[in-house]
Chain A
Amino acid sequence: MAKEKVLLPMVGKVMSVQVKVGDSVSADDQVGTFESMKMEMPLFATASGKVVEVKASVGAVLDADQEFCVIETA
């Protein structure tokens, strides 16, 4: 069981979190949205598996490469 971290690609404010712990996701499923430079962008799962940790919360400002959520791959 490997853990795959979904990272924010740039500094941004979390606008929505669309997964919760225990959810099954496929690679490229949308896990949330974030805003950077007044532009809202989607964030996608980087692997298929089960969400084991959600680190982002709506309104939080995350740095580039900061964890949004963690997926456990099968």
Chain B
Amino acid sequence: MSVSELVSQTGFSALTGGQIVMWLIGLTLIYLAIKKGFEPYLLLPIGFGILLVNVPLGGMLADDGVIRIFYYGIQYEVIPPMIFLCLGAMTDFGPLIANPKMLMLGAGAQFGVFIAFFGALLFGFTLPEAASIGIIGGADGPTTIFLTNSLAPHIMGATAVSAYSYMALVPMIIPPIAKLFTTKAERAIPMKQMRPVSKREKIIFPLVAFLLISLLVPKSAALMGLFMVGNLFRESGVVKRLSDGAQNELMNILTILLGLAISFKLPAEDFLRWDVIKIFCLGLVAFSFSVVGGLMLAKLMNLFLKEKINPLIGAAGLSAVPMAARVVQLEGIKANPRNYLLMHAMGPNVAGVIGTLVAAGMFLVLVG
């Protein structure tokens, strides 16, 4: 074999400029995950996944390639619903059951989903693409991936990376918007201790919530059903091993698979397009308006409520569990050191997950 033939067998001969740009993007995500701690559980595997699918001649995306095989888990709708099962096992609906009004804030924080949906239509995206872009505003990775897979799989790389990147930036997105739309006096509104929630209520909730929401929006039944079955594992108290397994081992395995599988949609030729920049811009619009929607709805509710709520907790309606609730706690304590909003913010926070599932179900009916 001659030297030139030998060189042609290596990746160097087939390396493209686009692939090198993707390496830089992948390395940036890895840097942000390790150095800045930005969503490391997802950005680290996604970052390395970008390297995996952008080495020439690596064969990762071929029919028998490892990333292609992982991707079947998304394509056949296995991984996102299973992640929801794990999330259900990790979710305490207590704060929402104690104060069901918070469900409204979870709905209010879907405002950005619809703003970005219409924005995407104005930018020339098709209806299915616009719905997939809008759902980024729900700040919920698995739902974004699930919906994009059903409606517009060709833009999944961009919607997924956009959703997870902005989720990592929630501590930077919420505070300035909260300060712009609320006064210090509003942010200082103290909230009373929540009532204790009984075990019976916690067991009944996932059953009733699943049946009710699935009847209202049948297309959300897959994700909602697994979310609630996971929660029943947790609250029933009789399958502790399943609950623990879902919260820990299974969640970890699925996180690895999801992070790597997404990279199937991240080779240079799919990702380096002008549309991706538009999707990232619309994703930020979606996140921002979801925060605004939650805050403004909380302020609107205060016009009618005798016992005022701190509007900051509306911002936690932007799912991103539990990061958004933690940011609300930090902002609340700045305005009033005796204010502990964390648990109160968990109500809209988990309601936001339900709200995003419902929005995704609606898009599947209307656009799918």
A: residues with CB less than 8 A from B are 9-10, 28, 36-39, 41-42, 44, 46, 64-65
Contacts and interface: CB of A to CB of B under 8 A. Distances in A.
B343 A10 contact: yes
B337 interface: yes
A63 to B, nearest CB: 9
A61 to B, nearest CB: 15
Interface of B: 193, 196, 322, 325-326, 329, 333, 337-338, 340, 342-343, 346
A19 B346 CA distance: 30
B332 to A, nearest CB: 10
Contact of B337 (A28, A38, A39, A65): A28
Contact of B342 (A39, A42, A46): A39
B193 A36 contact: no
Contacts of B196: 64
Contact of A46 (B193, B338, B343): B338
A10 B194 CA distance: 9
Given A10-B340, A28-B337, A39 B329 contact: yes
A42 B330 CA distance: 11
Contacts of B322: 37-38
Nearest to B330: A39
Contacts, number: 30
B6 to A, nearest CB: 53
A64 B342 CA distance: 13
Nearest to B321: A37
Contacts of B346: 37
A11 to B, nearest CB: 8
B342 A37 contact: yes
A66 to B, nearest CB: 12
Nearest to A10: B343
A46 B340 CA distance: 14
A64 B98 CA distance: 14
A37 B326 contact: yes
A59 B333 CA distance: 23
Contacts of B337: 28, 42, 44
A41 B346 CA distance: 16
Given A36-B342, A37-B342, A41-B342, A64 B326 contact: no
Given A42-B337, A44-B338, A64-B196, 16 more contacts: A9-B340, A10-B340, A10-B342, A10-B343, A28-B337, A28-B338, A37-B322, A37-B325, A37-B326, A37-B342, A39-B326, A39-B329, A41-B333, A41-B342, A42-B333, A46-B338
A39 B323 CA distance: 10
7 contacts: A10-B340, A10-B343, A36-B342, A37-B322, A39-B329, A39-B342, A64-B196
Contacts of A38: 322
A36 B296 CA distance: 28
Nearest to B92: A37
Nearest to A8: B340
Given A36-B342, A41-B342, A42-B337, A9 B193 contact: yes
Contacts of A41: 329, 333, 340, 342
B101 to A, nearest CB: 19
Instruction: Tell me which of A37, A38, A44, A46 has the highest count of chain B C-beta atoms within 10 A of its own C-beta.
Output: A37
Contacts of A42: 333, 337
A10 B338 CA distance: 12
B193 A64 contact: yes
